[in-house]
Chain A
Amino acid sequence: MAITGVLRPGLIQIRVLDMAAAITHYVDRIGLYKVATGDDGRVYLKARDEFDHHSVILNPSDRAGLDYVAFKVDGDAALSSFEKRIAAWGLAVDHVPAGEQPGIGRRIGCTIPSGHRIELYAHADLAEMRPGTLNPDVWDAEPHGMEARRFDHCLLYGPNIDQVEKFFTEALDFSMAERVDLPETGALAIWMSCGMKAHDIAFVRHEEPGKFHHVAFELENWNDIGRAADIITRYNISIDIGPTRHGITRGQTIYFFDPSGNRCETFCGGYSFYPDHPVRVWNDKELGKGIFYYERVLNDRFLTVLT
């Protein structure tokens, strides 16, 4: 299968209340690397298996939450094409010039019906520290902390997720991998893929627009989830739930909070998705197992605590 159009979630900008504490969390604990600090105080981070300049942007703010998530597309022509398609779909498109942040080319952005800002971009400079390409070692710099390999996906809460599903499938060519359908109210949650991952972005229906549930970083294996759990306890990081597994996506996982209360996930696994696969559906009878396959019960904090 050739992945064209939208390649992957590439950037996520998260608001933090205490930058020094946030850097300790994302760099020393999760295992990202600091790339640069901007004149406006934003801090740029990357994971060790990413080739691009950066993937995570920490924005100093007096309120926690998500500023935007940006997807990388396969070239400037694709970017221009998506701009037309988003406008034709019915959303206003704005432009962010290259140079707004280091290492990233021009971006286009829009606010989707859930109230979240979604951006697309085609160019990122290659990172100084990136995986080798000639007789490459498994890593150059020795991994640290939870050894996160990449920014992987995010889960967002907001209204109108039926419209959000249509936007991602019709305007950006995403596929539906999995969904939760309740008998009386319809889709409660959707997991969508732009490649072969079980999800690249997910949404849960929620009254307040623009809410942030979690940012996820991929680890190599289940042992690494256990090590992440050790780090979470050792450094008194606020735990949410895990280690456990999701029925939905089958990911093995642990959830915890950053020092500003934004939820983070480190996970591994999950099935491979192809766009010709049928949608997997969960209903209210087995939703507990869908969310937490081992506990088999819903957890109020996990479902309703947001930034």
Chain B
Amino acid sequence: MEMTESGGLAARKPAPPPSALLASDAAAPPHQIAVDGTARTVACRDGLSVLDAFEQARNPLAANGEAVVRVGCRRGGCGVCKVKITEGTVRTGPMSRAHVTEQEEAEGYVLACCAYPESDLTVASVPVAPRKLK
């Protein structure tokens, strides 16, 4: 039985707290994320995803009154935070191919929770058919 990765001394070594991300504030000014069709921008500190930035900005609404980005699993699996990057570049983490195909990724579609800005960005809302209970 491997107690692994866990259970042993290594497991008790603390991971850096999320607040460690604040240390980068001084080093790099935040990237600005503009929302297509609105005058609104949100700031995204280094190390945060596009979705993190929208959540921290209390998720501004697009012109149609819907949230620009829906907040779902925040980890690349559920697909509800899909957006299209129309200007700028991002680095991406693993995203479920059930929601972003390789071709879509090449066209600029990403899950906002897995996209980390490398420049100022413009993003467009992607209408993901909301699942409804009936």
Q: Which residues of A contact B (CB under 8 A)?
A: 17-18, 23-24, 27-28, 31, 33-35, 62-65, 127-129, 141-142, 144-145, 185, 188, 204-208, 234-236, 238, 240, 257-263, 301, 303-307
CB neighbours (8 Å) of A145 from chain B are 6, 11
A-contacting 9-mer, from B22-30, B32-40, B56-64, B90-98:
B90-98
* Contact indicator A27/B5 (Cβ below 8 Å): yes
- Quick one: which of A35, A62, A258 contacts B1, CB cutoff 8 A? A35
- Quick one: which of A235, A260, A263 contacts B94, CB cutoff 8 A? A260
Alpha-carbon separation in the docked complex, A185 to B3 (Å): 49
Secondary structure dominating the interface of B = loop
CB neighbours (8 Å) of B134 from chain A are 185, 188, 205
Q: Is B117 engaged at the interface, CB distance under 8 Å to the other chain?
A: no
Closest beta carbon of chain B to A166's beta carbon, Å: 20
How many Cβ-Cβ contacts under 8 Å join chain A to chain B?
118
Alpha-carbon separation in the docked complex, A23 to B133 (Å): 33
Closest beta carbon of chain B to A264's beta carbon, Å: 11
Nearest first, the 9 A-B pairs at minimum CB distance are: A261-B77, A64-B77, A261-B73, A17-B94, A304-B131, A238-B74, A27-B6, A261-B75, A305-B72
**A-B CB contact pairs (8 Å), 5 listed:** A27-B6, A35-B1, A64-B77, A188-B134, A305-B72
> Of residues A24, A63, A204, which shows the largest number of chain B Cβ atoms within 10 Å of its Cβ?
A63
Alpha-carbon separation in the docked complex, A261 to B97 (Å): 13
Category for how many chain B residues contact A: 20 to 34
The chain B residue with its CB closest to the CB of A239 is: B74
Alpha-carbon separation in the docked complex, A260 to B9 (Å): 26
Alpha-carbon separation in the docked complex, A206 to B78 (Å): 15
Q: Which residues of B contact A (CB under 8 A)?
A: 1-7, 11, 15, 17-18, 71-78, 80, 93-99, 130-134
- Quick one: which of A127, A129, A144 contacts B11, CB cutoff 8 A? A144
- Quick one: which of A33, A64, A144 contacts B76, CB cutoff 8 A? A64
* Contact indicator A238/B73 (Cβ below 8 Å): yes
Alpha-carbon separation in the docked complex, A204 to B133 (Å): 9
The chain B residue with its CB closest to the CB of A262 is: B77
Alpha-carbon separation in the docked complex, A144 to B94 (Å): 28
Closest beta carbon of chain A to B89's beta carbon, Å: 22
The chain B residue with its CB closest to the CB of A185 is: B134
If A63-B97, A304-B130 touch, whether A33 touches B78 (CB-CB below 8 Å) is no
* Contact indicator B11/A28 (Cβ below 8 Å): yes
Alpha-carbon separation in the docked complex, A204 to B77 (Å): 19
Closest beta carbon of chain B to A260's beta carbon, Å: 5
